C-alpha cells in the first residue's frame, strides 16, 4: 500500500512539473471557461421548449404548459447567461469590463436569443415537413422528431446560428460539436441555411462555416460542402471558402462540393460520389459513370439466365 502511494506521488509530481512549461495546454483555470456539460443541458431544455409535447423534463413536475415553459425559460436564461459571461471573459473581447458589466451584457444577449425561439421554431417546422415529405420510411412526424438524427442536427444548428448572429463566441460551436458527436453530422453554426432543409441518413455530412444553402435543399449521407484548400490556415479566416447551394438542389451520398466560388444552380442534382470544384448551372444533373466490373463464377456455379445487363441504377 505504501509502495503504491509513493508511486502515485511520484507520478503526480511528474505531471505537475509538466504543467509548468507555460504551454497553452498547461492552463489550469478551467472553471473560467464554458462548461460543455452545462451547454449540453441547455440544448436539452431548448429541445423541450421547441417541441413541448415530445420530450419530458424529468427534474420538474408541471401542472400547466405555462408553468413548464416559464420554468424552462428561466432555467435556460440563468445558465446561458452564466456560460456567455464566462465566454465573454475568456475570449478577451471584454477584458476591460467589470464582472457586473459582463453579466449585464451576457443577460441581454441571452434575452435577445430567447426572443428568437419563435423564429427558430418556424424554420424547424419547415425542416420537419421536408423530412416527412422526402423520406418514405418516415411513418409519422412524431417518429422524425423523436428519433431522426438529421432533424436533431438541424435543430441544434438553428439554435447555434442565432447565437452566431448575436456574436456570441465559442458556445455556438460547442453546441454543434455536441450534435456532431451524437449524430455524425457536422454543421458549422456560421453556415447560412434556408427553410425546408432535408438531411437523409446524415452520417458523415460536413457543412463548412461559409456555406450558403437556399431553400428546399436535400442532402444525403457522406456529403461534404467544404473548402477547396486550407493551406493558408488562419489567413483564410473570414473569407468565403465554402460553396453556395441554391434552391431546390439535391446532393446524393458521398458527393464533395468544394470552394468559395463554387455555386450549384437552382434545381441541380448532384449524383453520388461526385467531386465538384467549379460551378454547376441551374437544372443540370451531374453523375459519375460506373467503373467497369466483371463477374466470374466458381466451378459448379452457373450464371443466372436472367442476368444480361451489367449496368445498374440505384438510389440509396
pLDDT band at 310 (very low <50, low <70, confident <90, very high): very low
Of 130 and 235, more confident: 130
What pLDDT digit, counting tens, does each position of 1-55 carry? Answer: 788 888 888 888 888 888 888 887 877 665 567 899 999 999 999 999 999 877 7
The helix or strand, by DSSP H or E, that contains position 8, with its residue range, turns out to be helix 2-19
Burial zone of 56 (CB within 10 Å; 0-12 exposed, 13-18 middle, 19+ buried): exposed
- The percent of residues above 70 in pLDDT, for the chain, comes to 84
Task: Answer yes or no: CATH 2.160.10.10 is held by domain 191-316.
Answer: yes
What pLDDT digit, counting tens, does each position of 136-195 carry? Answer: 999 999 999 999 999 999 999 999 999 999 999 999 999 999 999 999 999 999 999 999
- In contact, 127 and 197? CB cutoff 8 Å: yes
pLDDT of residue 98: 85
pLDDT of residue 25: 80
pLDDT band at 305 (very low <50, low <70, confident <90, very high): low
Cα-based torsion angle of the residue sequence 84, 86, 92, 96 in order, rounded to the nearest 10 degrees: 100
Region(s) of the chain under CATH 2.160.10.10: 191-316
Region(s) of the chain under CATH 1.10.3130.10: 29-187
What pLDDT digit, counting tens, does each position of 2-15 carry? Answer: 888 888 888 888 88
Fold exhibited by the domain 29-187: 1.10.3130
Amino acid at each position: 500500500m505504501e509502495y503504491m502511494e509513493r508511486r502515485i506521488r511520484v507520478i503526480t509530481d511528474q505531471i505537475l512539473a509538466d504543467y509548468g512549461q507555460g504551454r497553452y495546454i498547461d492552463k489550469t483555470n478551467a472553471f473560467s471557461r464554458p462548461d460543455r456539460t452545462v451547454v449540453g443541458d441547455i440544448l436539452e431544455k431548448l429541445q423541450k421548449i421547441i417541441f413541448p409535447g415530445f420530450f419530458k423534463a424529468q427534474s420538474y413536475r408541471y401542472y400547466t404548459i405555462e408553468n413548464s415553459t416559464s420554468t424552462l425559460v428561466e432555467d435556460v436564461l440563468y445558465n446561458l447567461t452564466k456560460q456567455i459571461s464566462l465566454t465573454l471573459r475568456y475570449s478577451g473581447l471584454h477584458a476591460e469590463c467589470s464582472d457586473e458589466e459582463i453579466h449585464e451584457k451576457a443577460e441581454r444577449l441571452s434575452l435577445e436569443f430567447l426572443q428568437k425561439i419563435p423564429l427558430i421554431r418556424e424554420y424547424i417546422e419547415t425542416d420537419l415537413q421536408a423530412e416527412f415529405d422526402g423520406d418514405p420510411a418516415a411513418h409519422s412526424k412524431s417518429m422524425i422528431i423523436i428519433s431522426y438524427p438529421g432533424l436533431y442536427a438541424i435543430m441544434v444548428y438553428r439554435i447555434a446560428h442565432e447565437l452566431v448572429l448575436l456574436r456570441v463566441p465559442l458556445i455556438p460551436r460547442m453546441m454543434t460539436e455536441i450534435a456532431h458527436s451524437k449524430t455524425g453530422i457536422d454543421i458549422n453554426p456560421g453556415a447560412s441555411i434556408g427553410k425546408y432543409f432535408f438531411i437523409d441518413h446524415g452520417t458523415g455530412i460536413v457543412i463548412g462555416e461559409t456555406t450558403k444553402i437556399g431553400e428546399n435543399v436535400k442532402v444525403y449521407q457522406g456529403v461534404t460542402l467544404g473548402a477547396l484548400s486550407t493551406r493558408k490556415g488562419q489567413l483564410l479566416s473570414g473569407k468565403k471558402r465554402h460553396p453556395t447551394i441554391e434552391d431546390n438542389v439535391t446532393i446524393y451520398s458521398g458527393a464533395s462540393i468544394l470552394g468559395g466560388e463554387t455555386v450549384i444552380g437552382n434545381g441541380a442534382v448532384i449524383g453520388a460520389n461526385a467531386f465538384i470544384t467549379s460551378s454547376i448551372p441551374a437544372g443540370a444533373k451531374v453523375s459519375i459513370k460506373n467503373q467497369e466490373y466483371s463477374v466470374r463464377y466458381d466451378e459448379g456455379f452457373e450464371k443466372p439466365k436472367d442476368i444480361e445487363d451489367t449496368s445498374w441504377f440505384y438510389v440509396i
